Structure 1
Amino acid sequence: MKPTTRGTLAALVAGAAAAVGAAATPAAAAGTAPLPVPLGGAESALGMELPSVRGELPLPAPGSPEGPRFTEGRLLPERAVPRLPVEGGLPGLDVRAPLAHVLGDGFDHVGVRTAPSGLRAVSPGLSVDGPLTGPGAGRAGLPELTLPELGVLTPALQTVPGADLTTGSGL
């Protein structure tokens, strides 16, 4: 094999490898996993145009919990059971359906697209304080009696969903 042929072949293989590597991004790096809905077999079996449906499922990622926080005057930490944050998202959907003309042979389309939107959730937590205070200087280092405390830290959910409705000519 001639050196020019080898060089051309090496450049072709390197270009193809770079194109395949750029196109094949892992789903974890993207944050969503594609979800195609194949309807081609149903279209050919029924002999009619069916809607095209695609979806995107976000991949949830757990965060690090907020640890207990010690404060002055309390015997137990402020958050006995910490809240666990989870980052994820709402799924996206892309639906395009053919819309036949009443008069004529042409087709239009109607489509709905919801983009995957970020979702942040925080699980509930628990805050407890015992019936004793910490050692104080006023009573020779002995703790004082107080009322026990029990608190539930509420869960939280944050997201901003959105959708687009489109119509147009052609499929």
Structure 2
Amino acid sequence: MKPTTRGTLAAVLTGVAAALGAAAEAPAVAAETVPVPVPLNGVENALNVQVPKIAGELPVPMPGAPEGPRYVEGRLIPEHALPQLPVTGGLPGADVRTPLPHILGHGFDHLGVGAPAADLRTLTPGLSTDTPLTVPSADNLGLPRLPQAAVLPPLLKTTPGANLEMGSRA
């Protein structure tokens, strides 16, 4: 085999391996939350007591595409000089379960609080400016109107929720 043929074959195999690796990695990147367990088994074994079970979820923020500038008739500068960037993610979630001993009798009950990760949609702050297209005004000492600027506030939309439960441990 010639060295150029070997090099071409190596390049093709490297490209195929990279494509297969990217395809295998795509589901991990597509996850919306990352589970975070809190390992307390060592405490339970060392002290010989029942400890709470704690787990959490951390959201993965995903930036979106900003809305581009809009040109409006009568304005020199586009409507959104600095566009707002949408970011979707979530609020962190938690799941806590703790045993409650029976005061009279045998066994345990449990108390649990579950707060799942809630969707969160945000828009970053933006800037909108307006330069007037006017002639000098006698009312304004011969000057044109001053430019107008507005800071667009950030926007947050979410609906968090939680569950509180008590019962016998099954």
TM range (shorter): 0.7 to 0.9
Structure 1 match to 2:13: none
TM-score by length of 2: 0.75
Indicate the residue corresponding to 1:41 in structure 2: 42
Match of 1:161 in 2: 160
TM-score (norm 1): 0.75
SS at match of 2:156: strand
Could you report, residue by residue, the CA deviation over 1:73-107 in whole angstroms, capped at 9, with x for unpaired residues? 00011111111111000111111100001111210
Alpha-carbon contact 1:96-1:112 (below 8 Å) kept: yes
Residue 35 of structure 1, CA deviation = 0.7
Query: Percent of aligned positions with the same letter in both sequences?
Result: 58
Give 1:108's aligned amino acid: D
Residues in 2 aligned to 1:163 and 1:28: alpha-carbon distance in whole angstroms: 27
- Give yes or no for contact 1:120–1:158 (8 Å, CA) kept in 2: yes
Contact 1:27–1:33 (Cα < 8 Å) also in 2: no
Which runs of 5 or more residues in structure 2 are unaligned? Answer: 1-25, 135-142
CA RMSD of aligned residues (A): 1.9
Q: Cα distance, 1:146 vs. partner?
A: 3.2
Spell out structure 1 runs of 4+ moving beyond 6 A: none
Give the counterpart letter for 1:157 in structure 2: L
1:5-154 alignment runs, 5 A limit? 26-132=27-133, 145-154=144-153
Residue 131 of structure 1, CA deviation: 4.3
SS in 2 for 1:75: coil
Structure 1 residues 14-71: Cα deviation after superposition (integer angstroms, max 9, x where no partner): xxxxxxxxxxx94432311111110000111122100001111111000111111110
The answer for unaligned runs of 5 or more in structure 1 is 1-24, 134-143
Any conservation in 1 of the 2:31–2:60 contact (CA below 8 Å)? no
Report the count of equivalent residues: 138
- SS of equivalent to 1:43: helix
